Amino acid sequence: MSDDDGYRKLFVAESRENHENVVRNLLVLEEGSDDEAIAEIFRSAHTLKGMSASMGFHEMEHLCHSMEDVFDLIRNGHTAVEQDLIDVLLAGTDVIEEMLDDIEGGGDCSSISSSHLVADLEKYASETTEESAEVSDASESCESAPDSFKLTITVDKTCAMKDIRALLVLQNLESLGTIVSSTPTKEDLEDGTVPFSGEMEVEFVSDAGMDAVRSAALGTEIASVCFAGEVQPEPDEPDTPAESDTVSVKSSGLSPAATVTKVERTEKSEKVREVKNLRVDITRLDQMMNLVEDLVINGGRLKQIAGMYKIKEMDESLSMVSRSVSDLQNLMMNIRMIPLNQIFNRFPRVVRDVAHHDGKEVEFTMLGGDTELDRSVMDGLSDPLLHLIRNGVNHGLETPDEREASGKPRKGTLTLSAWREQGNVIIELSEDGKGINRNQILKKAIERGLVQEEGAATLTDQEVIDFLFQPGFSTAEEITDISGRGVGLDVVKSTIESLNGSIKVQTELGKGSRFTLTLPPTMAIVDVMMVRINDRRCAIPINGVVEVAKANLDNIHKVGTSEVIMLRDEVLQIFRLNEMFGERPVSEIMVVVLYKGNKCCIPVDVVEGQQEVVVKPVSSVIGNCRGVGGITIPGDGAVVPVLDVNTMV
């Protein structure tokens, strides 16, 4: 990887963090004045401007500069935070996000125009400046001359690119004043001709004040910023601490006790500066995961071989290797886990935009964002949640006047929650809106021919709600920019099921609705039950299995075109899976699985037992196959399909 690629990745990663910080605090500021939010916005916008300038992304720098000017006016109390201004600033963050996507893909964002936003921001800034011109003229005569500063800036010794980090600091300082001199110079850092030790001396003139200057110089991987006259932090000890300590005692008159104290203090300082987090390219994690999966598969094969030949020494060695592989597997799975906040943090902005578009008042609450999911599950979860949240505000919640007329508070509530339950991750979205109207759904279902009018009245509420998951089904009266384009809950359902999850809806007319998503924490390595159906081997994920029972075939009855069986005083539907495995006589062994919150039975010939397997996707080879969630290769080397209960039944 070239240095340019390294700089670009570092720039994108840090810029996204600052971008999210700006958006998050703009939403806070929209609710009311907040000095801390204003300070956070200005700091992040300032950093974005400086970093984009140093990397040569001038279109992004120009937009960030215009936004920073407005943020500065807000910070200094020269302009009020109004709805129109927030709209323009959020539109600016949308363009910045688009630019970052372009940069991450190898572009320079020059093709993305922001001139219309820059014009709006500059117009807003100039109008505000003109309004306060008289006050400024009166006070200018009283202002003092710019201050002169001498700074010593130390880059963290663990920083991989000290020169580019120092350049970013200089760029940030230039936006606040004038750099008189620096050692090393900006040119030396850019050319790379002079080795950079990590410490930089800067003479600087600015009227922004010491705090603003310090804030501009500080940042990620900056160990310290010291002004002339301040006490310098103690430098790192040399490689031979004993000799250095002895010298310091002789030269300064320190006692041995003082020397020991100094060493202890230095050691504590060292611990604070240890690298606690590393940015790792996701492709490397995927490669590591593939290697771990290969170890799991081959470990199972070796166990079978050891069982065949019954070699004691081999059994003992394999037991030790198995423990190490298991520990490595668990460690790898934990490394791949990502907190849901990674996608939750974008939703407050979505709620705000949809509510603003629809003229609704919404109190949005997020809980359990620290709940973790594997990256493979997380990647497919963002779009379904985004769709549910938009629908919740757009279709679920009423307007303030409608809520007031029905005796509700004018502001609706939307709550997004997540937690762990019985090995799964549960994500729940609830709102206190108008609920789902059964009659409205039935009317649409009859129009589309999904059900006959005479049979509609006999359907249960759950069966009626299931119509919402039909392709293209929508009860929206009109098409809007937010929803009602025919891309409905069927897309959400299919995506969740492709993640080996399920979705359930509960609703009460006039009270609101609740969407519950049940997901496995990972899709890569799972516990399965190995079974044989019609002499063909397959695996059923354990998280979908309720029990294995031996049934009395005399208790099987026909109900319409379906078969049911009485098992433990429950009537359960039987699914023979003839389309997948061919027809055969029904077996007494029933695997009871959970489907859409209800139990049903799958007859199997043999249950071979529980096993931990690596699940590989099949879509890249043969395309999506209904009823098959992936394939696995157990110890004997056979290719075994892993059934997906959600699409199989």
Q: How many other C-beta atoms can be found within 10 angstroms of the C-beta atom of residue 18?
A: 23
Residues 6 or more apart whose Cβ sits within 8 Å of residue 169:
153, 200, 216, 217, 219, 222
For 395, the 3-state DSSP assignment is helix
- % of the chain beyond a pLDDT of 70: 82
- Report which of residues 54 and 2 the model is more confident about: 54
Fold: same for 147-227 and 340-519:
no
Mean pLDDT of the chain: 79
State both tokens at 446.
């009859």
pLDDT of 502 over the 80 cut: yes
- % of the chain beyond a pLDDT of 90: 12
- Report which of residues 71 and 414 the model is more confident about: 414
449 sits in the region (left: phi over 0; alpha: psi -120 to 50; else beta) called left
Q: Which of 377, 381, 465, 388 is nearest to 430 (CA)?
A: 388
Q: For 99-198, where are the E strands, in sequence order?
A: 147-155, 177-183
Q: Find the mean pLDDT for residues 555-560.
A: 80
Q: Which of 556, 134, 629, 605 is nearest to 376 (CA)?
A: 629
Max mean pLDDT range (122-131, 167-176, 471-480): 167-176
Q: Which residue has the tokens 């598969």?
A: 297
Q: How many other C-beta atoms can be found within 10 angstroms of the C-beta atom of residue 168?
A: 24
Q: Which of 593, 604, 589, 609 is nearest to 547 (CA)?
A: 593
State how far the alpha carbon of 78 is from the alpha carbons of 62, 117, 132, 281, 637, in Å.
Answer: 22, 20, 7, 44, 72
* Strand 412-421, strand 362-367: pairing: parallel
pLDDT of 404 over the 90 cut: yes
Q: What pLDDT is recorded for position 289?
A: 80
- State the DSSP H helix or E strand holding residue 13, giving kind and residue range, or none if neither: helix 3-31
Q: What pLDDT is recorded for position 99?
A: 92
Q: Are 281 and 5 in contact (CB under 8 A)?
A: no
Q: What pLDDT is recorded for position 351?
A: 92
Side-chain half-sphere exposure of 580, counting CA atoms within 13 A: 23
Q: What pLDDT is recorded for position 6?
A: 67
State both tokens at 4.
């340019």
Q: What pLDDT is recorded for position 635?
A: 67
Q: What pLDDT is recorded for position 451?
A: 80
State both tokens at 48.
């974005």
DSSP label of 392: I
Going from N- to C-terminal start, the domains of the chain cover 3-131, 147-227, 283-338, 340-519, 525-648
Architecture of domain 525-648: Beta Barrel (2.40)
Q: What pLDDT is recorded for position 393?
A: 92
3-131 folds as: Four Helix Bundle (Hemerythrin (Met), subunit A) (1.20.120)
- State the DSSP H helix or E strand holding residue 52, giving kind and residue range, or none if neither: helix 35-55
Max mean pLDDT range (83-97, 184-198, 286-300): 83-97
Q: What pLDDT is recorded for position 269?
A: 40
Which of 81-90, 135-144, 245-254, 539-548 is least confident? 245-254
596 sits in the region (left: phi over 0; alpha: psi -120 to 50; else beta) called left
Q: Measured between alpha carbons, how far is 601 from 593 in angstroms, rounded to an integer?
A: 6
Q: Which of 124, 125, 129, 181 is nearest to 151 (CA)?
A: 181
**Between 35-55 and 3-31, two packed helices, what is the crossing angle to 10 degrees?**
160
Quick one: pLDDT band at residue 215, thresholds 50, 70, 90?
confident
* Start-to-end Cα distance in the chain: 48
Amino acid at 36: E
Q: What pLDDT is recorded for position 479?
A: 47
Helices assigned H by DSSP within 218-281: 241-252, 256-272
- Report which of residues 135 and 452 the model is more confident about: 452
Identify the bridge partners of residue 603 per DSSP, sorted by sequence position: 590
Max mean pLDDT range (158-167, 423-432, 484-493): 423-432
What are the pLDDT digits (tens) for 276-304?
566 677 788 878 888 887 887 787 778 77
CATH of domain 147-227: 3.30.70.1110
Give the angle subtended at the CA of 424 by the CAs of 422 and 427, to the nearest 5°: 120
CATH of domain 340-519: 3.30.565.10
State how far the alpha carbon of 317 is from the alpha carbons of 41, 68, 323, 385, in Å.
Answer: 58, 64, 10, 47
State both tokens at 282.
């996701």
Which of 49-53, 195-199, 256-260, 366-370 is least confident? 256-260
Q: Measured between alpha carbons, how far is 164 from 146 in angstroms, rounded to an integer?
A: 28
Q: Measured between alpha carbons, how far is 350 from 264 in angstroms, rounded to an integer?
A: 51
Which of 105-119, 212-226, 276-290 is least confident? 276-290
Q: Measured between alpha carbons, how far is 23 from 13 in angstroms, rounded to an integer?
A: 16
pLDDT of 136 over the 80 cut: no
Amino acid at 492: V
- State the catalytic residues: 46, 68, 391
Q: What pLDDT is recorded for position 483?
A: 46
Max mean pLDDT range (84-98, 291-305, 588-602): 84-98
- Report which of residues 310 and 250 the model is more confident about: 310
What are the pLDDT digits (tens) for 263-273?
443 444 444 44
Quick one: pLDDT band at residue 402, thresholds 50, 70, 90?
very high
Q: What pLDDT is recorded for position 516?
A: 92
Q: Which of 286, 267, 173 is nearest to 227 (CA)?
A: 173
What are the pLDDT digits (tens) for 420-448?
887 788 999 999 999 988 888 888 888 88
pLDDT of 87 over the 70 cut: yes
CATH of domain 283-338: 1.10.287
Quick one: pLDDT band at residue 388, thresholds 50, 70, 90?
very high
Which of 219-223, 248-252, 310-314, 506-510 is least confident? 248-252
Q: What pLDDT is recorded for position 620?
A: 53
Q: Find the mean pLDDT for residues 413-426.
A: 88
What are the pLDDT digits (tens) for 14-39?
888 888 889 988 898 888 877 888 88
Tell me if the pTM is above 0.75: no
